[in-house]
Structure 1
């Protein structure tokens, strides 16, 4: 039952510019990622989403080529999280010149996860030699908490603050691309939708994103099997985090220990703990606030979303098809099989088929120019230039004989006081702090 990627996107995807070429997002990725056309054949005895997902939880393989140096970061509210930077002989933690991949893990996960090691193993070695930093959520990665707050799927402020810190730490213009897995992918996409074009990330990848938390949670609750196996397991993982930080968490006045520890599903845990800690009136309101499907249409950097259609956790029914379709910056790549963070292939020693595809997508996105031109941008610039020039030409001669500067949108028209007019069209990139000016003397 081999399958390959099915791509879903806007009818006119955003035009991607790199040093060597320019093409619509979908074509750009296909031409720069040779393995995207490869067929995926699941491991014979992992023939459905449940088996792939179960094996993913069992699979603990890490790479000797992926090593980290930890940095603790104190946030504005006094909370503490950890950042794990990849280091090797080629790159030390203080190396500020190499492109950096910002990684967000899944629920209660961390830099130790096999799905993170599988991707990083490929990008930190030849031919790429990129760097990565794994941002841990509150209470994750064996990091002590300093406030009574742990995992929150709706919180994008920690990512926002962390990216500002990373930007300041690195050399100006260092390329940043984001990737999130499961819960981390939802936080990443939600952040991008909130920030629009104001993010320091030049592009991003979302892997196994649930998108619609309320729909996915209702799907898990609908059968005894899913409620017990998936929802129950996630609740137990969250309770382990809670127990590890019990002393600090019980400083929160609204928490009742028996209620938290007796929860046996994700919904009952979030009702007893997460909802109260973060001030939501109902657990459904918390799930609505978490969901990145509400803002994905506002993303304004290239975003590649990867989902398996048989994923029993990030249910395909939660995918925001319409919102993806209307956003030229987003491309959805789906496979028929793969489960949740699975995509295992081979019989004797299964490994993740998806890792090589993700590595190639990362490399392609690092090559993207920060200035992304949508279709008709050139027409808009020409109109702006001519319109502004027309305004200046219509000014009284007495005004044009004085130094004058007129700004309309991204066009500046100046008079030098001698009757000469110069037109400047400005393109600027916030992350690189670069300004490229094209002059046309008239």
Structure 2
């Protein structure tokens, strides 16, 4: 009866989508039978889930005195991955993110901050999730307005509600549906507060210096987390990042190490190894001309919006930037001259978060689809996550890039992430989490030398090539 019910749901949903998107539905139907003959489980959208973690996973204490490991916790609360069978591969799941309807109305109030670090001077914006209201501002994304000065002066609170700090994907914002799918179950009746740190220039924000954002742009989130701790001293803070925002928040948490203000974090569709991802995006006509070209076009559009400020950097050639067709070309013409990287490859290698994972000292859940066409599966930190007790990598056989659509339009990744956050906030003794490795925080090797003290090479995961001299 369960199987029959699922089949009926599938047929009804297919008919509805065929009416709304006839061309898209026809394409799916053409290849559906071929795909299903090779994998009957795909008829019901079943995806295989795998976990990667250390054999000595972090021990967590519950508020009622029991103990469990981080790995056991994740496996017990993450639901089975059963996705929309019509979106049976990574490309369809990813493309559907563009076609999916807006069914999750979340309201925000925006405040503009000035970065206090003279190196990363400029303004950045933060959108705070608020109660539903009828306010409107045509200069901002839907359901978003500015705080008045009087309202913002009263924002501080001594409550102990958990609060989520969110970082969106490339050229996105708080309005993105993938972000709202995760946020909706947490705020309101879920008991959480939340804010979204907007990457400079995105989501109709203005920039006031030539400093844009990049994959290592941790400076704004660092300041806002410090401000949140001062403004809401009793709130436990948690973090989540999506796509490029996942790479940034991973780097931030690693930079903070045992001093990180977050109690736990989740990353979805993190590119991890940006150089490997770049090569994968250039591999084949489809990846190059659909994904890389689309992202490159969006970044050139963003550049044109703020060209007056960005072009104040004499090393940025406006004509070269505007001629960029692919994402790596944009990075070559903007990120390299801005930060001093000789090539986009050097930038990708330096800004990647794959090694940063080893410096994290808080419970950390990474979720990734093996068929993600935007970020390379070979870039996943399967070996790295097994070297630290603080991380768990959950992979699904399908799901695309920030997709994981289920029947009805909901997202499996949202259910997995919210279950993790609610469990950590409600049941785990957050103050009892150890942030010190039993055998030391550094990874050491040893080279024997006859009749001399052995050399002890040390791997430092956060040692970067690009740095500011004197800092």
| TM-score, with structure 2 as normaliser | 0.75
Q: 1:143 to 1:37 in 2, by over 3 A?
A: closer
1:29 offset after TM fit, Å? 3.1
**Alignment partner of 1:136 out of 186, 198, 211:** 198
2:157–2:231 CA contact under 8 A, matched in 1: no
2:362–2:435 CA contact under 8 A, matched in 1: no
State the secondary structure of the residue aligned to 2:213.
Answer: coil
1:374 offset after TM fit, Å? 7.7
Compare the two structures and name the one with the higher strand fraction. Answer: 1
1:358 aligned onto 2:386: no
Unpaired stretches in structure 2, ≥5 consecutive residues: 1-41, 134-153, 441-471
Q: Residues 330-354 of structure 1, C-alpha deviation per residue, up to 9 Å, x if partnerless?
A: 00111111000000121xx433122
Unpaired stretches in structure 1, ≥5 consecutive residues: 381-442
**Alignment partner of 1:87 out of 130, 136, 140:** 130
In the other structure, the counterpart of 2:387 is: 326
In the other structure, the counterpart of 1:155 is: 217
**Alignment partner of 1:29 out of 55, 71, 74:** 74
2:258–2:436 CA contact under 8 A, matched in 1: no
**Alignment partner of 1:38 out of 68, 80, 89:** 80
1:60 offset after TM fit, Å? 4.9
In the other structure, the counterpart of 1:290 is: 351
**Alignment partner of 1:5 out of 49, 72, 75:** 49
| TM-score, with structure 1 as normaliser | 0.80
2:281–2:291 CA contact under 8 A, matched in 1: yes
Instruction: Give the number of aligned pairs.
Output: 370
Q: Residues 2-33 of structure 1, C-alpha deviation per residue, up to 9 Å, x if partnerless?
A: 124311100010001231232110222344x2
Tell me the distance in 1 between the aligned counterparts of 2:282 and 2:396: 24
State the secondary structure of the residue aligned to 1:140.
Answer: coil
1:62–1:118 CA contact under 8 A, matched in 2: no
State the secondary structure of the residue aligned to 2:432.
Answer: coil
1:96 offset after TM fit, Å? 4.3
State the secondary structure of the residue aligned to 1:123.
Answer: coil
352-361 or 103-112, larger mean C-alpha shift: 352-361
In the other structure, the counterpart of 2:403 is: 342
Q: 1:267 to 1:374 in 2, by over 3 A?
A: closer
Tell me the distance in 2 between the aligned counterparts of 1:275 and 1:365: 40
2:90–2:371 CA contact under 8 A, matched in 1: yes
Tell me the distance in 1 between the aligned counterparts of 2:182 and 2:418: 6
1:57 offset after TM fit, Å? 2.5
State the secondary structure of the residue aligned to 2:169.
Answer: coil
Tell me the distance in 1 between the aligned counterparts of 2:176 and 2:437: 43
1:125 offset after TM fit, Å? 3.0
State the secondary structure of the residue aligned to 2:348.
Answer: helix
